[in-house]
Amino acid sequence: MQDLVAQLSQKLKIDETQARGGAAILFKAAQDKLGGPEFQRLLGSVPGLDALVKQAPKSGGGLLGGLASLAGGNAALLATIVSGFSRLKMSSGQAQQFVPIILDNLRTKVGAETVDKLEQTLRA
């Protein structure tokens, strides 16, 4: 996953800590949305991904997180992502910039079909 972190740092002009943390937050969100077994089935073969997901900052929740979790689904997921990126001194707009870079990187590791399935699931 070091190659992904380097790509994110270079393309988004952020430091390595922000790149690693942002990627970890997004992968953790994907894992939470898909469930552990499905996430593992889709992306378990990606070297270093498990270690990266474990580095995701703990979600603070707060009022926004609490309200979003009551709504459930994507609202809770979005609140977790926004909260995590905020802790890394980044905006939700920057979080959106991570996605195409991460998806392109994954295509080289697990193939387009798996990445397309992951992307569709997360948009649902």
**What is the per-residue pLDDT across 1-47, written as a single tens digit (0 to 9) for each?**
999 999 999 999 999 999 999 999 999 989 988 899 999 999 999 99
Model confidence, pTM = 0.85
Phi first, then psi: what are they for 91, rounded to 5°? -100, 170
Q: Which residue has the higher pLDDT, 11 or 117?
A: 11
Is the pLDDT confidence value at 84 over 80?
yes
pLDDT at 78: 81
Structure tokens given for 110 = 């697990």
**C-alpha–C-alpha distance, residues 52 and 83, integer Å:** 18
**C-alpha–C-alpha distance, residues 105 and 100, integer Å:** 8
Q: What angle do CA 102, 106, 111 make, to 5 degrees?
A: 145
Question: Looking at beta carbons, which pairs linking 9-16 to residues 24 or more positions away fall under 8 Å?
Answer: 11/101, 12/94, 12/97, 12/98, 12/101, 14/90, 14/94
